[in-house]
Amino acid sequence: MARVLITGGAGFIGSHAANELLGAGYDVRILDNLAPQVHGPERNRPGYLSQDAELIVGDVADPLTVERALRGADMVLHLAAVVGVGQSMYHIDDYVRTNELGTAVLLQALAKHPVQRLVVASSMSIYGEGLCRTTAGADVAPEERSLNQLKRADWELYDFRGEALQPVPTPEAKQPTLSSIYALNKYAQERMCLITGKAYNIPTVALRFFNVFGPHQALSNPYTGVLAIFAARLLNSRSPLVFEDGLQRRDFVHVHDVARACRLALETSHANEAFNIGSGTSRSIVSVARDLACVMGRGDIAPTITGKYRAGDIRHCFADLDKSRTLLGFEPRVRFEDGLDELARYLAGQIPDDQAEQATEELLRRGLVA
C-alpha cells in the first residue's frame, strides 16, 4: 500500500487523518514541529498519536528536513499550518513563514521528486463573508462590514439598498474575500499547491475545512477552534466569551468526517479542484456555547456576550456540499449532537490552561478588538 506523508500530522486533524489512513492500509509518515502552543513546552510525541505512524520532528520550512520526510513517500497530505485568525493579525511573520514559505519549501521539493497525489488543507476563511440572498431572491457576495457599522453594534449584512441579506450555503464558486492574514495564507497555500501540481503533473486537491471539532483539540491554545476555546473556559468554571451578539452562524463538522474527506481526496480521480468540507448545517455561536455547556454538565454557566468585534471576523459562513457529494463522494456522517457527546467524554478530567482572556487582551492592546 502507498506511503502517505502528513505534514502537521501530529496535530488535531492530522492525528485523526493518520488513524483513518492506517485503518485503510496505508503506511503513514508524519512531519511535525510539535509547536509548544499546540503540544505544550515539553514538545513530546502526543499520547493520542498512533504508534504505527512514523514521526519526524522538524520544521516544514526547512528544506533538508522536508527532503528527508519525502523519501519514499507516494502521496502528501499537507496540513502543516499555524492556525488562528486573530493571532495572524499580529504574528504576521510567523504565519507567513510557516504557512506560505513552508508550503513553498514543500513544493520546491515536490518539483524535483513528484508524488502520485497532493492534498492541501485550505479553509472556509478564504471566503470572507459567506454567500447571501437578497429579498428579491438574488444570490450576492456581501460587502465587508464597515468599521462605523461595527462600532454602532450593527452586526448584520445588508445590500447596497440597505436591505437585510439572508445567509445561504456557500459554494466553492464564490469569489474569495480575504479578511485576515490567516485567510490570505490559506488561499496562498491552496493556489500554490494547485498551480504547482498542474505544472508538474501532480494530481492535487484542496480541501476547504469549515469549523472542525472533536477529541484531541488543543484546549490550551486560545487560537484553536471555538468549541475547544469554550471547553477550556467551561472546564475552568468560566463563562465562554462570545463576540458580537452571538448570532453569527458557522458550520461545525466533526473531525472523523474531515479525516475521511482527507482519505477520499487522496483516492479520488478528480484533480486540480477545491472542495468544501463541512456539515452543510449552520448554527449560531451562542447556541453552540449553550449546547456544549449542557453536555459538559455546566449548563448553569451561561455564555458572556461581549458585544465586541475582532479584526478579521466575518458574520456568517456555512458550506454548500453539492460538489463534494457529487465528485468526492463525501457525506458527513457524525451528527452534531453525537459529536458533542463524544467531545464531552474526551473533556472529562481534562484541566486545560485557559488563555482566552489573555488572547483577547492582546488583541485589545493592538487595537484589533472594537
Residue 279 pLDDT greater than 70, yes or no: yes
Give the C-alpha separation, 177 to 212, whole Å. 21
Tell me which CATH homologous superfamily contains domain 3-131+169-308+316-364: NAD(P)-binding Rossmann-like Domain (3.40.50.720)
Candidate from 147-161, 242-256, 269-283, 350-364 with smallest mean pLDDT: 350-364
Is 182 among the residues known to form the active site?
yes
What band does 351 get if pLDDT is binned at 50, 70 and 90?
low
Q: Select which of 26, 95, 182, 187 is catalytic.
A: 182
DSSP lists the bridge partners of residue 77 as 6, 119
Percentage, residues of the chain above pLDDT 70:
92
Percentage, residues of the chain above pLDDT 90:
77
What band does 229 get if pLDDT is binned at 50, 70 and 90?
confident
**Most confident listed range (32-46, 103-117, 301-315):** 103-117
This prediction has a pTM of 0.93
Q: Are 9 and 46 in contact (CB under 8 A)?
A: no
Domain locations in the chain as residue ranges: 3-131+169-308+316-364, 132-168
Mean pLDDT of 288-297: 94
pLDDT tens-digit series, residues 123-170: 999 999 999 999 999 999 999 998 899 999 999 999 989 999 999 999
Residue 31 to residues 18, 57, 63, Cα–Cα distance (Å) = 12, 6, 12
Residue 108 Cα to chain centre, angstroms: 25
Residue with grid cell 454557566, as numbered in its chain = 301
pLDDT of the residue at 52: 98
Least Cα distance to 224 among 98, 90, 359, 61 occurs for 359
Rg of the Cα atoms in the chain = 20
Number of other CB atoms surrounding residue 244 within 10 Å: 20
Residue 234 to residues 86, 210, 227, 290, Cα–Cα distance (Å) = 21, 23, 10, 11
pLDDT tens-digit series, residues 15-74: 999 999 999 999 999 999 998 888 887 888 999 999 999 999 999 999 999 999 999 999
**Most confident listed range (101-105, 217-221, 222-226):** 101-105
pLDDT of the residue at 220: 61
pLDDT of the residue at 368: 57
Buried (b) or exposed (e) across 166-191, using 16+ Cβ within 10 A?
Answer: ebbbbbbebebbbbbbbbbbbbbbbb
